[in-house]
């Protein structure tokens, strides 16, 4: 019996505490960095529709979308201001997936120890095996997070990925942050 995602996250968090590694605190940042974070424009949407499930989860195809800046070893890495996406076939080995996400205070350690912390591919396969979900999609999708302007995501790459998932027959999307 493997660890669940919450157990894995708790272990990683404790390891960080044990090593005395912490995210930067606001008071430790320069005034410019502090103001930049405090006044970061946050998108609020009052028009996002609730979409009820059309079939049981146990018969649904689930896709994984992340903002963790993941890509295949042969893909171009994400860069600052990059609103493009990368396709990651669901059968890809963890050793072939890299993370090029960058942000102030960002620590890649947990991802490199266990991809499931950010990209729970093994957990999804376990849910399929247990009959909790019907299947996983043929492809997963990754974006670079920490982008200031969501316009391209909303108007271009978001609809493009949505169309690809519709073509694959995806019923449910599991979205993970960095």
Provide the residue ranges of all domains of the chain, joining segments of one domain with +: 55-176
Can you give the pTM of this predicted structure? 0.76
Q: What is the pLDDT of residue 22?
A: 61
Q: Which pLDDT band holds residue 61 (cuts at 50, 70, 90)?
A: very high
Q: DSSP alpha helices (H): ranges in 74-155?
A: 109-113, 121-129, 151-152
List pLDDT tens digits, range 89-143: 999 998 899 888 776 666 777 777 888 888 999 999 999 999 999 999 999 999 9
Under DSSP, is residue 64 helix (H, G, I), strand (E, B) or coil?
strand
């Amino acid at each position: 019996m493997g660890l669940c995602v919450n157990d894995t996250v708790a272990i990683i968090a404790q390891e960080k505490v044990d090593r005395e590694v912490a995210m930067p605190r606001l008071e430790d940042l320069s005034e410019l960095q502090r103001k930049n974070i405090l006044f970061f424009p946050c998108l609020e949407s009052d028009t996002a529709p609730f979409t009820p499930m059309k079939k049981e989860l146990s018969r649904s195809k689930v896709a994984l979308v992340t903002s963790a800046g993941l890509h295949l070893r042969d893909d171009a890495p994400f860069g600052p201001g990059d609103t493009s996406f990368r396709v990651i076939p669901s059968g890809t080995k963890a050793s072939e997936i890299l993370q090029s996400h960058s942000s102030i205070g960002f620590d890649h350690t947990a991802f490199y120890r266990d991809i499931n912390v950010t990209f729970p591919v093994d957990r999804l396969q376990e849910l399929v095996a247990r009959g909790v979900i019907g299947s996983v999609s043929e492809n997963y999708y990754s974006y670079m997070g920490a982008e200031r302007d969501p316009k391209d995501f909303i108007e271009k790459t978001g609809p493009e990925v949505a169309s690809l998932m519709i073509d694959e027959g995806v019923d449910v999307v599991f979205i993970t942050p960095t």
